[in-house]
Amino acid sequence: FIKPQKFIPSKIIMIVGISMFMVFQTIPILVQTPKPIGFGENAIDTGRVQLPFAIVLLIFGPTSGIIISKLGSLKPVIFGSTLTTLGFVIILLFHSSELLISTGLGILSAGLSLAAVGAMNIIILASPRESSGVTIGMSSMLRIVGSSIGPALAAMYMQTNQSIINIKGIVESLPSSFSFDLIFLTAVILSIASIALSIILNKKMKASTASLF
């Protein structure tokens, strides 16, 4: 009964870490890469594009606990995973527009907050009180592992898919548009996997609850 409630949410937490930090590395590079691949903007413009992500995370971080206390842990996880997928789909399809990237990041931030907090809450509730510290530590470690895999995966895509462009007479090798497509497509696939895991967890929890009666 306890095992799926701890194993599946842990995977969701890892996916959250991978996708979140994959975006943190990729978006600044995309925004500052010269045209026609990127937008050719500076660091201030990069911060402006990512600002909705930070604002929504600041709001949904503290309020996710309130939402979970009213709706339970599982519904926010499913809804958050769905929002995460929607945000990545918007970024994948419309990353030629800074405004739409910001919109996708805002939706993505809300989804990641709900999914991460909900999954952590499920793990805590499924753990004996005396081992809650170990459980929280292991879950946090999985998120950190995910945050290490995400940037490495994005860097691999950008390094293996380069474009040669001429910038004011200087020839440079930069990440190609295809590399950004691959990064965002991978993020979409991972977020769809988190939805599938949430649905599986929902079914297992219902089956386990039914077996108790």
Look at phi and psi of residue 174 and say left if phi exceeds 0, alpha if psi is from -120 to 50, else beta: beta
Q: Residue 211: pLDDT band by 50, 70, 90 thresholds?
A: low
Q: Residue 5: pLDDT band by 50, 70, 90 thresholds?
A: low
The pLDDT of residue 1: 39
H helix or E strand, kind and range, residue 175:
strand 170-175
Residue 81 · residue 195 · CB < 8 Å: yes
Q: Evaluate if residue 75 carries a pLDDT over 50.
A: yes
Q: What pLDDT digit, counting tens, does each position of 13-61 carry?
A: 888 889 888 888 899 999 999 888 899 899 899 999 999 998 998 888 7
Residue 122 · residue 9 · CB < 8 Å: yes
Q: What pLDDT digit, counting tens, does each position of 93-121 carry?
A: 999 899 999 999 999 989 988 888 888 88
